[in-house]
Amino acid sequence: MAAKILLIALLALASSHALASDPSPLQDFCVADVNSKVLVNGFVCKDPKVVKPEDFFFTGLDKAGDTVNKVGSNVTAVNVNKLVGLNTLGISMVRIDYAPRGLNAPHTHPRATEILTVIEGQLFVGFVTSNSDDGNRLFTKMLKKGDVFVFPEGLIHFQFNPGHTKTIAIGALSSQNPGTITIANAVFGSKPPISDDVLAKAFQVDKKTIDWLQAQF
């Protein structure tokens, strides 16, 4: 009986690690060796003997991103591709700048939950639940300076600055490399493009409308 209980406990522990977004570290750190030719899920570790303080350091998050673009926002990401010391630590962060009426368009992070706080200005934020018998539920909130909101892993979410002054937000994500899928870009701007027959059927519009939308991306 004791052996069965131990086996169940070990299986439960293994399952909890398997379900995590990023693997738990098995050593103090595993600084990413971005030049390695070895292909693994993530990055292989640098030899700890050649790791230096700069591997755990990033500078520039105090600088505003350029928001002169179609949506009026800019995301400065600090993930394992920018800060190699994050490898296997299961965390990253972003600075997001929004022009007046700027939008961080509906998107998902397939590998991370995001928690966001407003540093300056205001934001209208929200996320949409996955498909259910009751449809897709929308949760929204107006945030001001100091407010915090969380976006569950994998769910479509957005942030919009409804004001006439700039907004700055900081987000933390539960993955070293959370990934981003911007819905409009992925659906209408994929390469090669998704067939307009498919999209016309999915959105219940004519193919000319789909062709026009695809031309925007």
157 is in an annotated binding site: yes
17 is in an annotated binding site: no
164 is in an annotated binding site: no
Distance of CA 183 to the CA centre of its chain: 12
Rounded to the nearest 5°, which phi and psi values hold at 96? Answer: -125, 125
| DSSP one-letter string for 85-149 | GGTTS--EEEEEEE-TT-EEEEEE-TT--EEEEEEESEEEEEEEPPP-TT---EEEEEEETT-EE
Rounded to the nearest 5°, which phi and psi values hold at 75? Answer: -105, 120
54 is in an annotated binding site: no
Binding residues for oxalate: 104, 109, 114
Binding-site positions for Mn(2+) read 107, 109, 114, 157
